[in-house]
Structures are given as structure tokens and as C-alpha cells.
């Protein structure tokens, strides 16, 4: 039998194309008539936001590599030029499908619900008058028309700003050649304008329509030959030489302000735009034709978030979801005592994030707490956790490691870092050359018995209560001595470069996480070869690291059954005979963003479960400080296996299965919402717990939620799916 080369490019999917496949799965949710209509609109807006970030960072990186003459090949054997060609072609198809979804599916469906997004020529007299009034009062005073000529150079166009280009003819004194005009629309203006509707309809008109219709009078003395709205996306990578930078905070602050001025990467322009307008813009921004996107509709579909938010039609949105409240004590002493006696594991958003906020807020105000250490990667602009840390400053030792280079959240993090410094918090920015992505909090407390103990929170998601309502993540509150001691050592590494030989029982990137993950995979392979139980279930956002993929291939060849639940990119090719026939890959996209990272190893009949902040990507394993932590409580391991992982593997409604050709397909025909949805299943479990809590409130106070209280039936989602299908069939 011919030996298979594990690094053969044929056995690696292109990670960037696979990212676009993930975004297509989000687009499928916009097209899914089983989802509420306005949620479908939001899914479409999400695809646009995702694509913006992809272009700003990933496509920009291709252009940088090409400019620098890089000859490095991707794992699937492509040069940067070849990758850019493949990705840009896939993007063109994707953008076409986005607008097809908007024009042919969502717009007609909205109209049937008396929600209309109209063109200016479709407005009746009353609506047109309202649009004109809005333009005169709000828009016109903020516009600065520019006519490009030798004394008026082409204006600087901000990143992703809505602009309108005009082809102009001077009525008197011109040389016969058309002039070029540009108007930038201020960001402060709403991109969709509500206008009076008929018979109770909710009517909007896009701002680009309004500007294009009325801006002509700003160009007095000119005849407008043609106009077209457009948008430029710029390179938003940050360039930093950290070793030579005295203040990383000041350096990142400066770079963020320069980001808007990065090189142009993409042009979006209205389909049917005059060829000379397109030619002028392409020449000005020095863009290849493959990065010009002609769109049949609003040049920024991300602005459809406004339609979702402003349209008060709750029956067209998901029903409100109330997470179960997890009460860990009623005051500081009882909270820390509860954690001292048993770890608390939380599954967000099904378990409310309030328990994490309360843990940190209580610590901030508890006089027995001596110090608090915290990492912050992404948090909201009005974070109760950050405010609690500010309030604790001056009363106890507070140390915060703020990651300034969290893409697109730099400005928020800079503001918090400066506020912390002003309040007397010790602020650090991690290890030079590495992003701090670990989610850690460490509390040192002198308990009522006089003993000093450490308590920790470790999580898979950001310290952001807002996103915790719709990101699936896991949290652990613990005072386990080995774990809290290791967390303490990780903070020493972040603040003082104090390296340890290892951080057991934690896995810490870039120190030993990649090596240990591969060792754990290889251990499963050894168990399989010796006839012992060997199984892996891994839930992550991405699997693209070649050494990890090669280890997974080896394990499959040895006989290990492997299920990968990968939300986004997966470069591994499953189902190849003799290589990956025992590997199955699925992706789940639904109401909540799948964000938790779970690693289950059967380990010859002695299962181990790790949770953490890292995906199996190069940047997570080698370029960031990341932490994976073990679940030591057998009941928590059981909950992860039976309530969570088994449910994900049973999903037949929102799951897509990766084929060996890189395409995704649903596991079986799903009609009219039939099948089992893991997110709906977990919401039902949470609703049952909430109802139990309400009933218990009549008889006494709520207690700590532990895995002992997992509702009956949680481990058998297949039975629930069968019952649901039977019910649907009866209908």
C-alpha cells in the first residue's frame, strides 16, 4: 500500500476559501424561510460585516505579501497571487449571491409584511417631501462637494465611508471634457431614512438614494451626466515595531487613527455605474479589476442592521430568551464559600453571564479581597466589569492586562486602559510580540477563617456581558489550588516575563499548548493501536494548523474516531480513505454565535475534558497567550459530554457536514423546520430551569446551579428529535 504523505497539498483546504464557506453558511441562514424574517435580514447584514473584516485584514495581507515579493506557499500549495485570485473569484460569486438574496428573497418578503425599502422614484408625494425635508435640514449642511481639478485634488476617502461620485459637464467656460465630483456622506447620518408609509406600511429609503437625488444643486453651474454611490475598503492591519516603541498604548492609538488612511483594497460601486466613473476610481485607488464589486443595491448591506433594529415588529424576530440565573451565594462570604466547596461551571448564554459579573463585582467591593488580576481582550464600552475594577482601585491591588491589538476593538480598549491608569490600576499590555487572548481573572482573599486563598474565573469567551447574551461560551469558577496557582504564574508571565518550565495543569500558548495538544492526539492514537477506547470530540472555531492536522490524520489512520465541530475554517480534508476516513467535520450556524472551545479525549477509558480560549490556528497556538484548562469535577465533565457535545453531534437542523471536496451539506433533508436543533434544545433546558427557579422562589432562595441539576433527558437529544419529527409528521 502506498504511504500517504501527510503534508501533501491535496489534503489541505485553503483556509481563506473555507472562511468564505463559513460566511456562506451565515448567508444560508438569511435565506432560510424557517428563520423569522427580520432575523434573516440581520443574518445578511452579518455576512456583510464579516466580509468587510475579511477584506480589511485577509485580502489586505495578500496584497502586502505580493508587494513584498513573498514566495511562501500556503499548506494547499498556493502562492499569494494564486490565493488572491482564488479568493477574489469566490468573493465575486458570494457578493452576487448576497444581493440576489436581498433583491429576490428578502425585499419581496418584507413587502408582503408591509415593510418596504424604496427607491426615490417609488416614493409618493408625501414620502418624497419628507425625504427632501430631511436632506435640506440634516444632510445638505454636512456635505462638502469636491470637483477634482489641478487645484482641487481627489479628496481623501475614509475607510468604508459612503460616497457618491458625479460625472459633471461645466455649462460655461469648460473645455468640453467632463469633470469628476465626489461627495462623502457623513457617518453620523442614518443610512436608512424612515418616511411616511401608506396604510400602515413601514417605509424606508436609503441615504445613498437621497444624496444622489438632491446633491445636484450643490454643483451649481454643472450639468450632472451621471452619478454612482461607492465605497472604498482600506487595509486595516496595524504595523508595529514593539521592541522599538516606548509606549505600546500611544503607538496603537496612533496606528488606529492612521487605519482609516490605509491603502485601498476593494471598491464597491453601484451596478450600472458610468464606465468613466468606474475607470476614474479604479485608477485613483490603483485597484485590480478583480477587487471591483458592482452591486445591485445598497453599497453597504451591513447597514441593514438599522432596518432590524428600527423596525418594531417583534413577531418577525426571535422570541425573547431568558437565561437561567445562577446564584452563587447571596453575599461575598457565601459566594466564596460556595466556590471553595465546589467548582461552578456555566454555559452561556443558557446560563446567565450575571454570575461572572457578580463574581468580579463582589470581589471589587469585598474588604476581604486583597488583590484582583484580570485580562481584557474585548469588552463593551460601558462594561460593568471594567467599572468594578475602577471602583476597586485604591482599595486593593488591581492589575489589568489589556490587549490593545484586539482587531477593531482597539479604540475601546485604549479608552479603558487610560481610565485604569488614571484610577491607579496597574495596567500591562502583555508580552511583546504576542496578543493576550486568554480569559482569566484571579482573586486573592483572606477568608473568614484567616487563611489566604486564590479564586479564579477561566473562560472561553470575552469579558463582555453584551456579547455573552448571544455567544455560546463556557465559564469555570474555581479555587482549585493547582489551577489558581497556574493562573497566578500566567499573570507573572504577562507582567514580568517570568517563564515557568510548564503551567500544569493548564496548557499555555505559545509555551506548550501546541506541543501538548499534539501529544494528546498522539496518545489517543496509541490507545487505538492497543485496542483501548479511543475517541475525540473537539469543538472550536477553526482547525487550520498543519501540525495539528497531521496529528489528526495520524490518529484517524490508527483507528481513532474523531468528531470535529468547527464553526468557521477547517483546512482538514475529512473522509479520505486511508487518511481521514474516521474524521467527521460539522459546522453549526444558528441564532447564537458558536464560540466555545471544548476538547474531549477518551484516553483509554479515563476521559479528559479541556476548555479554553484557543482555536487550532497558527495565530492562537504560536502568536498569542492562550490558556486551556481541565475540568476536574466528574459531574461537569458529564454535563459537557451528555448535555452539550452529544447534543451538537445530534443536530440535524442547523448543522452542515464538510465533504472531502470542501463543500458543506446538511446531514439530511430538512423540510419546514423538521429535525433537531441543539440551540433550541439548550434553550428549552434553560427555560425549564428558569421555571423551576420561579417555583423554588416561592419556597426558598435559589442555590448554586451545578451539573447535579441537569434536567432529565438532556443526554438523549436523538429521542427528542425523533419525537419532534413524529409530531411534525402528525401535523
Residue 392 clears pLDDT 70, i.e. is over it? yes
pLDDT at 218: 84
Distance, CA of 576 to CA of 206 (rounded, Å): 49
Q: Is the pLDDT of residue 711 over 70?
A: no
57 touches 259 (CB < 8 A): no
Give the range among 427-431, 468-472, 532-536, 613-617 with minimum mean pLDDT. Answer: 427-431
- C-alpha atoms less than 13 angstroms from C-alpha of 466 in its C-beta half-sphere: 7
Burial string for 196-217 (b: 16+ CB within 10 Å, else e) reads ebeeeebbbbbbbbbbbbbbee
Please give the positions annotated as active site: 437
CA distance 291 to 85: 10
- Tell me the average pLDDT across 182-193: 89
Give φ, ψ of 522 to 5 degrees: -65, -35
* CA–CA dist 374, 75 (Å, integer): 37
Residues 6+ positions from 102 with CB-CB distance below 8 Å: 44, 297, 301, 304
Dist. CA 419–CA 383, nearest whole Å: 12
Q: List CB contacts of 287: < 8 A, sequence separation 6 or more.
A: 264, 265, 266, 267, 281
Instruction: Compute φ and ψ for 313, nearest 5 degrees.
Output: -130, 75
**Beta strands 397-402 and 426-428, pairing class:** parallel
From 12-26, 366-380, 579-593, 634-648, the region with the lowest mean pLDDT: 366-380
**pLDDT tens per residue, range 345-354:** 999 999 999 9
Backbone angles phi, psi at 194, to 5 degrees: -80, 130
- The rounded mean pLDDT for the chain is 87
pLDDT of residue 695: 53
User: What DSSP string runs through 553-618?
Assistant: HHHHHHT-EEEEEESS-B-B----TTTTTTEEEEEE-SSSEE--EEEEE-GGGS-EEEEES--BSH
Say if residue 701's pLDDT is above 80.
Answer: no
pLDDT for the residue numbered 174? 63
**How far is 51 from 16, CA to CA, in rounded Å?**
11
Distance between CA 145 and CA 182 in Å, rounded?
Answer: 6
CA distance 471 to 456: 21
CA-CA-CA-CA dihedral for 666, 668, 672, 674, to nearest 10: -110
What digits encode the pLDDT tens for the residues 283-313?
999 999 999 999 999 999 999 999 999 999 9
Q: pLDDT tens-digit profile of 22-52? A: 999 999 999 999 999 999 999 999 999 999 9
- State which H helix or E strand residue 371 sits in: strand 369-376
- Which set of grid coordinates corresponds to residue 501? 518550565
> pLDDT class for 670, splitting at 50, 70, 90?
low
3-state secondary structure at position 82: helix
Q: How confident is the model at residue 418 (pLDDT cuts 50, 70, 90)?
A: confident
DSSP 149: B
Question: Residue 532, Cβ neighbours under 10 Å: how many?
Answer: 14
Q: Helix or strand or coil: residue 496?
A: helix
Q: How far is CA 147 from the centre of its chain?
A: 40
Taking phi over 0 as left and psi of -120 to 50 as alpha, with beta for the rest, 683 belongs to alpha
- Give the residue-averaged pLDDT of 432-449: 93
pLDDT band at 547; cut points 50, 70, 90: very high
- pLDDT digit string, tens, across residues 70-106: 888 999 999 999 999 999 999 999 999 999 999 999 9
State how far the Cα of 474 lies from the Cα of 543, in Å rounded to an integer: 19
> In sequence order, what are the beta bridge partners of 351?
324
Q: CA nearest 469: which of 385, 591, 382?
A: 591
Confidence check: pLDDT of 413 > 80:
no
Residue 460: closest CA among 320, 594, 585: 594
Return the pLDDT at 204: 96
pLDDT in tens, 354-364: 999 999 999 99
Helical H runs in 240-349?
Answer: 248-259, 275-285, 304-310, 332-341
**Where does the pLDDT of residue 407 fall: very low under 50, low under 70, confident under 90, or very high at 90 and above?**
low
Mean pLDDT of all residues in 127-154: 88
Structural domains of the chain, ranges and CATH numbers in brackets = 9-316 (3.30.1840.10), 332-500 (3.30.870.10), 513-730 (3.30.870.10)
Between residues 166 and 421, the one the model is more confident about: 166
Per the CB < 8 A criterion, the answer to whether 262 and 156 are in contact is no
* Per-residue confidence (pLDDT) for residue 516, from 0 to 100: 97
pLDDT exceeds cutoff 70 at 240 = no
The number of beta carbons lying within 10 Å of the beta carbon of residue 137 is 9
Which residue from 237, 235, 236 is spatially nearest to 287, judged by alpha carbons? 235
Encode pLDDT of 588-619 as tens digits: 999 999 999 999 999 999 999 999 999 999 99
DSSP state of 193: E
Question: What global pTM score does this model have?
Answer: 0.89
- Give pLDDT tens digits for 155-185: 888 899 999 999 998 877 666 788 899 999 8
| Residue 120: how many other CB atoms lie within 10 Å | 16
For 590, the grid coordinates are 444558528
- 48 by Cβ neighbours in 10 Å (0-12 / 13-18 / 19+) ranks as buried
Q: Which pLDDT band holds residue 67 (cuts at 50, 70, 90)?
A: confident
Among candidate residues 468, 443, 470, the one with its CA nearest the CA of residue 361: 443
Radius of gyration of the chain (CA): 28
Confidence of residue 244 (pLDDT cuts 50, 70, 90): very low
> Which candidate, 254, 266, 130, places its Cα nearest to that of 204?
130
**Is residue 628 predicted with pLDDT exceeding 90?**
yes
**What does 386-424 look like in DSSP terms, one character per residue?**
HHHHHHHBTTBEEEEEE-TT-TT-HHHHHHHHHHHHHHT
Query: How far is it, in rounded angstroms, from Cα 640 to Cα 347?
Result: 9
State the distance between the two ends of the chain, measured CA to CA, in whole angstroms.
Answer: 54
Amino acid at each position: 500500500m502506498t504511504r500517504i504523505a501527510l503534508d501533501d497539498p491535496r489534503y489541505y483546504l485553503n483556509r481563506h476559501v473555507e472562511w468564505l464557506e463559513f460566511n456562506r453558511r451565515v448567508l444560508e441562514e438569511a435565506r432560510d424561510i424557517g428563520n423569522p424574517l427580520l432575523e434573516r435580514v440581520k443574518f445578511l447584514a452579518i455576512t456583510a460585516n464579516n466580509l468587510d473584516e475579511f477584506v480589511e485584514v485577509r485580502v489586505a495581507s495578500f496584497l502586502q505579501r505580493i508587494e513584498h515579493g513573498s514566495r511562501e506557499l500556503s499548506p494547499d500549495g498556493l502562492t499569494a497571487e494564486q490565493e488572491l485570485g482564488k479568493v477574489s473569484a469566490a468573493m465575486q460569486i458570494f457578493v452576487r449571491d448576497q444581493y440576489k438574496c436581498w433583491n429576490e428573497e428578502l425585499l419581496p418578503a418584507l413587502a408582503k409584511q408591509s415593510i418596504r425599502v424604496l427607491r426615490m422614484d417609488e416614493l409618493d408625494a408625501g414620502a418624497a417631501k419628507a425625504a427632501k425635508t430631511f436632506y435640506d435640514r440634516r444632510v445638505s449642511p454636512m456635505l462638502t462637494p469636491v470637483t477634482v481639478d489641478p487645484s482641487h485634488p481627489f479628496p481623501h476617502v475614509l475607510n468604508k465611508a459612503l460616497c457618491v461620485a458625479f460625472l459633471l459637464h461645466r455649462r460655461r467656460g469648460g473645455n468640453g471634457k467632463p469633470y469628476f465630483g465626489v461627495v462623502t456622506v457623513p457617518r453620523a447620518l442614518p443610512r436608512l431614512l424612515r418616511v411616511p408609509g401608506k396604510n400602515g406600511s413601514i417605509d424606508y429609503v436609503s441615504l445613498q438614494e437621497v444624496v444622489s437625488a438632491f446633491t445636484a444643486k450643490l454643483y451649481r453651474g454643472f450639468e450632472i451626466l451621471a452619478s454612482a454611490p461607492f465605497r472604498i475598503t482600506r487595509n486595516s492591519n496595524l504595523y508595529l515595531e514593539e521592541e522599538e516603541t516606548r509606549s505600546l498604548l500611544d503607538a496603537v492609538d496612533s496606528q488606529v487613527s492612521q487605519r482609516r488612511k490605509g491603502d485601498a483594497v476593494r471598491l464597491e460601486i453601484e451596478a450600472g455605474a458610468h464606465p468613466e466613473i468606474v475607470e476614474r476610481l479604479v485608477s485613483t485607488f490603483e485597484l485590480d479589476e478583480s477587487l471591483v464589486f458592482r452591486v445591485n443595491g445598497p453599497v453597504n448591506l451591513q447597514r441593514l442592521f438599522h432596518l432590524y433594529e428600527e423596525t418594531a415588529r417583534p413577531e418577525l424576530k426571535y422570541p425573547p430568551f431568558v437565561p437561567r440565573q445562577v446564584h452563587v451565594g447571596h453575599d461575598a462570604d457565601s459566594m466564596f464559600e460556595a466556590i471553595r466547596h465546589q467548582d461552578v461551571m456555566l454555559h452561556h448564554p443558557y446560563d446567565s453571564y450575571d454570575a461572572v459579573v457578580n463574581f468580579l463585582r463582589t470581589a471589587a467591593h469585598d474588604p476581604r479581597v486583597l488583590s484582583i488580576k484580570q485580562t481584557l481582550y474585548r469588552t463593551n464600552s460601558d462594561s460593568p466589569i471594567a467599572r468594578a475594577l475602577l471602583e476597586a482601585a485604591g482599595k486593593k491591588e488591581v492589575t489589568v492586562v489589556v490587549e490593545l491589538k484586539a482587531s477593531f476593538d482597539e479604540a475601546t480598549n485604549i479608552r479603558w486602559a487610560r481610565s485604569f491608569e488614571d484610577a491607579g490600576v496597574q495596567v500591562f499590555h502583555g508580552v511583546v510580540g504576542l496578543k493576550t487572548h486568554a480569559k482569566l481573572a484571579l482573586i486573592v482573599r483572606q477568608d473568614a477563617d484567616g487563611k489566604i486563598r486564590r479564586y479564579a474565573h477561566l473562560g472561553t469567551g470575552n469579558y463582555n456581558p453584551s456579547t455573552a447574551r448571544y455567544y455560546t461560551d463556557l465559564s469555570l469558577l474555581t479555587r482549585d489550588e493547582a489551577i489558581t496557582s497556574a493562573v497566578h504564574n500566567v499573570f507573572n508571565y504577562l507582567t514580568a516575563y517570568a517563564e515557568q518550565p510548564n503551567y500544569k495543569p493548564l496548557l499555555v500558548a505559545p509555551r506548550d499548548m501546541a506541543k501538548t495538544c499534539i501529544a494528546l492526539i498522539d496518545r489517543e492514537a496509541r490507545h487505538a493501536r492497543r485496542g483501548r477506547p479511543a475517541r475525540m470530540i473537539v469543538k472550536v472555531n477553526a482547525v487550520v494548523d498543519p501540525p495539528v492536522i497531521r496529528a489528526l490524520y495520524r490518529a484517524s489512520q490508527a483507528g481513532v474516531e474523531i468528531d470535529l465541530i468547527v464553526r468557521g475554517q477547517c483546512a482538514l480534508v475529512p473522509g479520505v480513505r486511508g487518511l481521514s476516513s474516521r474524521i467527521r467535520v460539522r459546522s453549526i450556524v444558528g441564532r447564537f454565535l458558536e464560540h466555545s472551545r471544548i476538547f474531549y479525549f477518551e484516553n483509554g477509558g479515563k476521559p479528559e475534558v479541556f476548555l479554553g480560549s484557543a482555536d487550532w490556528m497558527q495565530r492562537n497556538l504560536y502568536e498569542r497567550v492562550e490558556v486551556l484548562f481541565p475540568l476536574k469535577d466528574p459531574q461537569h465533565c458529564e454535563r459537557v459530554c451528555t448535555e452539550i457535545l452529544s447534543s451538537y453531534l445530534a443536530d440535524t437542523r442547523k448543522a452542515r457536514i464538510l465533504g472531502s471536496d470542501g463543500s458543506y451539506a446538511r446531514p439530511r433533508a430538512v423540510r419546514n423546520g423538521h429535525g433537531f436543533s441543539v440551540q433550541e434544545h439548550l434553550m428549552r433546558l434553560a427555560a425549564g430551569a428558569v421555571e423551576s427557579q420561579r417555583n423554588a422562589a416561592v419556597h426558598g432562595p435559589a442555590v448554586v446551579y451545578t451539573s447535579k441539576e441537569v434536567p432529565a433527558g438532556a443526554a438523549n437529544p436523538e429521542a427528542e428529535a425523533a419525537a419532534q419529527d413524529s409530531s411534525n409528521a402528525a401535523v
